[in-house]
Amino acid sequence: MLRSRNLLGLCFLAAGEIQRSVGEFARGQLQARGAGLFHEEANFSLNLSIALAKLGRFEQADQELTRARALFGERGHSRGKVQTRLCLGQHLRIRGDLRGAESHIRGALSEAEEHGFEREHVIALEYLGDVALDQFDNQSAIERYDQALLLAEKLAPEGDLIPELCRRIAEVHVRIGEPNRALITCERGLRVARRINDRFEEAATCRVMAMAQQLLGHRERALRAAREGIQLLRKLEATYELTRILLWSGETLLAGKDAEERGVARDHLWEARSLAMTMGLMRWVERTEKVLGVELELPAAATLSHGPKPAEMPEGADPECFRFGIVTQDPRIVELIRILERAALSRLPILILGERGTGRELLARAAHELGDRRERPFVAGRCSTLPEGHLDADLFGHDRPPSTGATKPGLFEGANGGMIYLDEVSELLVGAQAKLLRVIEMGELRRVGAAGVRHVDVRVVAASTRDLAGLVRRGLFRDDLYYRLNGIRLEVPPLRDRAGDIELIGTWFLHRACAQARKRVLLTADAWAQLKAHTWPGNVQELKSAIERAVSLVNDGDRVGAERIELRPKHRTIRNPGTEPVRENRTERDQILTALRAHRGNQSEAARSLGGMKRTTLLYKMKRLDIRPEEYG
């Protein structure tokens, strides 16, 4: 059964169903671990790492690769060790560590030759060609690729290695000025990719074909190939290759004279930058910023708007963040403000992801203050609180409602010329999502009950506590709207991951609460230790409430100890038959997945194993945590 699951995962991976392959590999890994089959677990971990890397989730891919490497190493499995070393070298190359990458790949090549591992020998040559290509050593790259292709043809003339080698060889041909040879090589790779249903290679080859067509002077063909590649890679969620083609498309369109094309170019470049930030690939972020050029310079007006350091600013707080009401010393929050400064003149939508109470609206207001729309309206709309039947009317306005016969402009019209902040945008119904997409793309809206179209000029800032990409996969959120919103992506870390901010923010709230209550109150060392140890599920808002409550319940001059600070329970326990209590905090999703997998997807049984939970409660938690059926099968 495990072998069948592994083969199924590989089939999904080849067919471009990368998310489904991740689910199969994860389930197989868990089953192998439970059965004590460590070699099989290592294979699943390795394949899971490969799938995660294609999705651009390199941090998770590295974790799985480390697990596989340890398991293969413990059991002296030579082929497995070579494979994991190759993957590690490729990850290092993608991150820009070419010296480390070459060292690992050469070591893997030597071991593959020693043990006669032919497929791994081919892959090692291919990856060494990639390193040479990144070093702009075209001669060495083509030599490596040609050697690899010759060996791959002997192994399997119609195998999966042929399309990826053809794509790489074609890219070298483009670099050395031979676009016709590049197109011929691409066509050969595409024929094999289509024959074996390798949708990933089919999509990735579009970038090289676009480059070749551009070199031949066929600009429209090049852009058409790029658009096709972008569309396919978005469907596959192949983030790394999508970033590469978006960057190329952005560079090409930006070189044109058409204003509309240049606008699309900036959108592509900002999306590429956002994806690179998500993957943690800073060299790609820097490259994208260089292409964007003047747009990344802080506008003069924004520079002049910097006020002096406020006298009441708490010691240690970052002054740039504090002028927007954000008390922090965390470098990740500081970097978010810097991103907003650099993107101040962009019209691209902003997507802010983070838990409730982390200050998402403060970041949205900071974006408004930093941009050239600061003198125009800032309107906040909370999609989760808008009544379902009135949501369209509240957002887009309505004409002649039956009750009054009057007209009412919506939030978008109220924000015309300025910025609108849509909190919990994931709660929008499909109809409203389509209208929002039209406003973003065309600047057009139609009031409910009206026949005519109105034009608005609004920059959109959307926020969500949910995984929008997961909702797209489940068909609950429009993919085209997600890609448009995901222009400048900001991920706000929760308070529990910002240990240095807890006392800083707490001190700020304590001073404010004391001033309002006209009291002098201090917190003991034990109280501060308790605050720092808490997990803060409600984030900054919960910390504020805890401080204000403590100040309101004590007398002037009191010292507040840990026992006088009321906090939400840090965790509760779930008792499984025959097991110790399990802590439920950030691992709740893992616990539910484990239960579902253990009971083969039977939700009733899984719920009972989770401390007698009701099935309806389990379904609610699965929806809230975005647990997909393919993750537990």
**One domain for residues 514 and 534:** yes
Residue 162 within any structural domain of the chain: no
Last residue of a domain, one of 441, 475, 491: 491
Among the listed residues 377, 408, 405, 406, the one whose alpha carbon sits nearest the alpha carbon of residue 390: 408
**One domain for residues 543 and 444:** no
Banded model confidence at residue 226, pLDDT cuts 50, 70, 90: very high
Structural domain for 425, as ranges: 302-491
Mean pLDDT of the chain: 85
**One domain for residues 505 and 442:** no
**One domain for residues 595 and 555:** no
Dihedrals phi, psi of 277, to nearest 5 degrees: -65, -45
pTM greater than 0.75 (yes/no):
no
Share above pLDDT 70 across residues of the chain, in percent, rounded to a whole number: 91
| Spatial distance between the Cα atoms of 250 and 270, rounded to a whole number of angstroms | 9
**One domain for residues 508 and 487:** no
Q: Specify the number of domains making up the chain.
A: 3
Beta strand ranges found along 141-282 (DSSP E):
none
**One domain for residues 353 and 446:** yes
**One domain for residues 353 and 426:** yes
Residue 19 within any structural domain of the chain: no
Residue 529 within any structural domain of the chain: yes
**One domain for residues 386 and 509:** no
**One domain for residues 408 and 534:** no
Q: What is the domain-level CATH number for residue 604?
A: 1.10.10
Residue 449 within any structural domain of the chain: yes
Banded model confidence at residue 108, pLDDT cuts 50, 70, 90: very high
Last residue of a domain, one of 530, 545, 564: 564
Determine the Cα angle at 176 with ends 171 and 177, to 5°.
95
Residue 486 within any structural domain of the chain: yes
pLDDT number for residue 580: 36
pLDDT number for residue 443: 86
Is residue 570 pLDDT above 60, yes or no? no
User: In sequence order, what are the residues at sequence separation of 6 or more whose Cβ sits closer than 8 angstroms to the Cβ of residue 353?
Assistant: 463, 464, 465, 468, 489, 490, 491, 492
Last residue of a domain, one of 491, 518, 549: 491
**One domain for residues 326 and 424:** yes
Residue 149 within any structural domain of the chain: no
pLDDT digits (tens, 9 = 90+) for 146-172: 999 999 999 999 999 999 999 999 999
Residue 397 within any structural domain of the chain: yes
**One domain for residues 362 and 313:** yes
Q: What is the domain-level CATH number for residue 359?
A: 3.40.50.300
**One domain for residues 353 and 454:** yes
| Spatial distance between the Cα atoms of 26 and 40, rounded to a whole number of angstroms | 12
| Helix or strand run (H / E) with residue 582 | strand 582-584
Q: Name the more confident of 483 and 203.
A: 203
Q: What is the domain-level CATH number for residue 516?
A: 1.10.8.60
